[in-house]
Amino acid sequence: MNTSSAITRARPDTHPMIPSPLDSFDPAVRRQALADLCARPQWPQPTHAVNLHAHTFFSYNVYRYSPTHFAVLARERGLAVAGIVDFDVLDGLEEFHAAGRRLGLKTVVSIESRVFVPEFATRVINSPGEPGIAYHLGVGFTRVPPHPMLTQMRATAAERNRALVARVNRLTAPVTLDYDRDVLPLTPAGNATERHICEAYAQRGGSEFWRQKLGDWPAGEAQRQALIRAKTMKQGGAGYIAPDAGSFPRLEQMNRFVREAGAIPTIAWLDGRSEGERALEEWLRATMSTGATGLAIIPDRNYTPGVRDQKLQNLHDVIALAERLGLPVFVGTEMNAPGNKFVDDFDSRELTPFGPVFLKGAHIAYAHTALERHARLGYGSDWARTHFPDLHARNEFYRELGARLDPPHEDLLRDVTGQSRPAQILDLIKAKEPIP
């Protein structure tokens, strides 16, 4: 297959399911496909668009994108900054950063998991139907840390999935899954998610079987997987078991792991309609008290084009509060369900007011990544806290650095040490900028 033509045909936003060597489970094939593409003479200039929250096939990407494939498409679309986020693992970290360096793309790597929040034990936060449980992120990893928490997260997820399949199999018999045979082959490194399980179930049995079992069987793939998940795995489903304090790590444990790994502990925001998220300031301050210093939002789920409703007002409210508290805002589209966009419509009437905030957050995340990788002076480092105890001043420094720095000039940061002053670092970068 001609690599370049395969990429052209797999344009984002249409997402035809055309196999590409960039999505091979063989990393050598992916590297060669990228090398072939790098012979291209010119890439588009970066725009103001960003996506820092794209899942890859190392957890679940509905379009099967590898970290390399997402990097290529991000460069083709002119994303100012691009970032991947996988559940419970950092398996795509080195590949994505390496692809970014070859493509001249500003890259950020993050991890997502679920945590238990004792202060909200009786309130649903952002994991529907699960009081006290919240999705939570670490943003801006530069290496895979040899940390027991990372091993525990992977092992706990696998154990939880196997038990879930065993419970659901009792409902769906005689159509059942073998976790090792039917689910694990859907992902290259054995880190399956609930969405992989839903996909595997959807592939087995006919429409009449599922209609009898579930009471319905929609025509669309997204609706089918959502129905299986709702009827079997979520609250009220046969495979559902209410999580408790031992089902997931506690919020402070997750934040400690993220900080020790040199990344930014980050709050995940859904849409402001749950009981927990309606207590907006209480929620943000509770997470900040355990070390969170960033906020992640999926903008596309927070508004309906042309409609000014409560969802949109909630988005205004949470961004305004984040700005007041000094929390950089990291945005993206997930791409882990059919219909997810490749990139948000930042020129829409609803999102245009937030464009500068979103771009600022992306530049902060990239500058953090670059400084942490080359000098261990990331956003949460002792150096950053010493020079910028005020978060707003810290944000401005990392924003300016992230906006000015380009991947080809990152090597300049190798001369930076813990004795360097912020102005000296900016002067290093400015010296390489073209004179207007």
Concatenate the DSSP letters of all residues of 254-319 into one string.
HHHHHHHTT-EEEEEE--S-SHHHHSHHHHHHHHHTTT--EEEE-GGGG-BTTB--HHHHHHHHHH
Q: Which of 127, 201, 122 is nearest to 161 (CA)?
A: 201
Cα–Cα distance measured from residue 64 to residue 204, given in angstroms and rounded to the nearest whole number: 20
What was the pLDDT predicted at 68? 97
Task: Give helix 148-172 / helix 251-260 axis angle, nearest 10°.
Answer: 130
CA-based diameter of the chain, in Å?
Answer: 71
Q: Which residue has the tokens 């508004």?
A: 303
The CATH homologous superfamily to which domain 3-151+248-424 belongs is Metal-dependent hydrolases (3.20.20.140)
Q: Sort residue 173 into left (φ over 0), alpha (ψ -120 to 50) or beta.
A: beta
Cα–Cα distance measured from residue 423 to residue 334, given in angstroms and rounded to the nearest whole number: 36
Q: Which residue has the tokens 């290529």?
A: 72
Q: Which residues of 13-47 are buried (b: 16+ CB within 10 A; e: fewer)?
A: eebeeeebbbbbeeeebbbebbeebeeeeebeebe
Cα–Cα distance measured from residue 435 to residue 430, given in angstroms and rounded to the nearest whole number: 9
Q: Which residue has the tokens 């990544």?
A: 369
What was the pLDDT predicted at 41? 65
pTM for the model? 0.92
Reading across the β-sheet that carries 133-139, which strands appear in turn? 50-54, 81-87, 107-116, 133-139, 264-269, 294-297, 329-331
Return the structure tokens found at 275: 């009981």
All structural domains of the chain with their residue ranges? 3-151+248-424, 152-233
What was the pLDDT predicted at 248? 84
User: Are the beta carbons of 147 and 278 closer than 8 angstroms?
Assistant: no
Cα–Cα distance measured from residue 87 to residue 311, given in angstroms and rounded to the nearest whole number: 26
What was the pLDDT predicted at 42? 80
- Per-position pLDDT tens, the chain of length 436: 333 334 433 445 544 456 799 999 999 999 999 999 887 668 889 999 999 999 999 999 989 999 999 999 999 999 999 999 999 999 999 999 999 999 999 999 999 999 999 999 999 999 987 889 999 999 999 999 999 999 998 998 899 899 999 999 998 899 999 999 999 999 999 899 989 998 899 888 888 888 888 888 888 777 888 888 888 887 777 777 766 656 788 999 999 999 999 999 999 999 999 999 999 999 999 999 999 999 999 999 899 999 999 999 999 999 999 999 999 999 999 998 878 899 999 999 999 999 999 999 999 999 999 999 999 999 999 999 999 999 999 999 999 999 999 999 999 999 899 999 999 999 999 887 665 4
pLDDT tens digits, 217-262? 888 777 888 888 888 887 777 777 766 656 788 999 999 999 999 9
User: Are the beta carbons of 322 and 297 closer than 8 angstroms?
Assistant: no
DSSP string, 35-63: HHHTT-S--PPP-S-EEEEE--TTS--TT
What was the pLDDT predicted at 213? 86
What was the pLDDT predicted at 245? 58
What was the pLDDT predicted at 1? 32
Q: Which residue has the tokens 């900080």?
A: 259
User: Are the beta carbons of 322 and 360 closer than 8 angstroms?
Assistant: no
What was the pLDDT predicted at 246? 66
